[in-house]
Amino acid sequence: MVLVCFWSINSEASIRELTAISQQYAKLKKPLAFTLLALCVDQGNLLSHMRNTSLENDWAFDVYADVNGDLQKAFHYTNPPLSLIVNKGEVVYQQSGFEPGSEHYLFSRMQSLAAGN
């Protein structure tokens, strides 16, 4: 199972979402056995701030860049944050935007999927 989170340095909601996920990441990674792909969609000079943003927020996972925007285009969206749960190669859940606590819903969906496998 893969949790894909598209984010941007300019999106406060993206930063809040990844920070909330990071706070629970270590305790949920083992029982859920999932991979997190935090994909920054920024281009140009903003992209150079990706790693620092991750370090400043003490995120417990690696961040990656969607350098050419190919994945962003493939999912036909423009405004991060966007979170996808991919299970067995298929997108089984998609969540756009972030409100405090919505990370719990993502994790509960993942737990339900893991229990059903």
21-70: pLDDT as tens digits: 999 888 888 888 888 999 999 888 888 889 999 999 999 888 999 888 88
Q: Does domain 1-82 have CATH number 3.40.50.960?
A: no
- Counting residues of the chain whose pLDDT is more than 70, the rounded percentage is 99
Asked if residue 71 has pLDDT above 90, the reply is: no
Single-letter residue type at 79: N
Sequence ranges of the domains in the chain: 1-82
CA distances from 61 to 17, 26, 39, 75 (A): 13, 9, 11, 23
Local confidence band at 114 (pLDDT 50, 70, 90 cut-offs): confident
Local confidence band at 117 (pLDDT 50, 70, 90 cut-offs): low
